[in-house]
Structure formats: structure tokens, C-alpha cells
Structure 1
Amino acid sequence: MAIFRAKEVRQLSDTELIEQEQKLTLELIQGRGKVSAGGATENPGRIREVKRTIARIQTEKNARRNA
């Protein structure tokens, strides 16, 4: 799953935003589950980046709704 920057998020369509948010949320849940089970992720910084990307997507969705 790709990490999107704000510029890239603005270029996505509404359906793509929803789809990417769902995929990233699933990835975040799986990563957190791995950590809580006592395992180590391959890339510990990935969880932080996924959370930030989800926030970027939600921010763009709210901006489009209010515009």
C-alpha cells in the first residue's frame, strides 16, 4: 500500500479516496494487532505513516464536502 502526500491525495477521485482509506485502515488494524500480540513489524515507522495518510485523506474528504 502506498503512502500518499497531500498533493497526491488532492488528485484522487472521491471513490478512490474512500477505497484507499479503507485499505489503509485495514493495514493499520493489522499492524496494531501484530504489535499488541507481541510481535515486531518489519517497519515500525509504517504505522505512523499510515495514520498520517489516513488523516490526509479524511482532511481532503472534509474539504470537498464543505466546499
Structure 2
Amino acid sequence: MAIFRTHEVRQFSDIELLEQEQKLSLELMQERGKVGAGGATEDPGRIREIRRTIARIKTEQNARRRSA
């Protein structure tokens, strides 16, 4: 899954935002599961980037709700 920047997130439709959030949440859960099971992730900074991308998506969703 790709990491999206703020300007990319703003270009998504509401449905795309929801889909991307769900995909990233699943990926985050899988990465945390690997670490919790004692394994090492391929990219240690990946969890942080996924969390930040989810936060960007949620921020955009909230902004759209307020302006509607």
C-alpha cells in the first residue's frame, strides 16, 4: 500500500478515502501482529508512516464533514 501525502489525499473522493483508510488499517494491524509475534518488519518505519497516513485521511474526512 502506498503512503499518501496531504495533496494526494485531498484529491480522493469520499468513497476512495474510506476504502484507503480500511486498507491501511488492515495493513497496520498485520504489521503490528508481526511485531507482536516477535518477528521483525522489513521496514521499521512503515508502522509510523501508515499511522500518519491514516491520520491524514481522517483529518480530511473531518474537514469535509465540517464544511458540508
Instruction: Bin the TM-score by the shorter chain.
Output: over 0.9
Asked if 1:47 corresponds to 2:39, the answer is no
- AA paired with 1:11? Q
Aligned ranges 1:1-67 → 2 under 5 Å? 1-67=1-67
Q: Pairwise CA RMSD of aligned residues?
A: 0.3
Q: Give the TM-score, by structure 2 length.
A: 0.98
Distance 1:2 1:39 in 2: 22
Report deviation, 1:40: 0.2
**For structure 1, which runs of at least 5 residues remain unmatched after alignment?**
none
Query: What per-residue deviation string (whole Å, max 9, x for no partner) do you get for residues 28-67 of structure 1?
Result: 0000000010000000100000000000000000000000
Number of equivalent positions: 67
- AA paired with 1:65? R
Distance 2:46 2:15 in 1: 24
Report deviation, 1:23: 0.1
Where does structure 1 differ by over 6 angstroms across 4 or more consecutive aligned residues?
A: none
Distance 1:9 1:42 in 2: 25
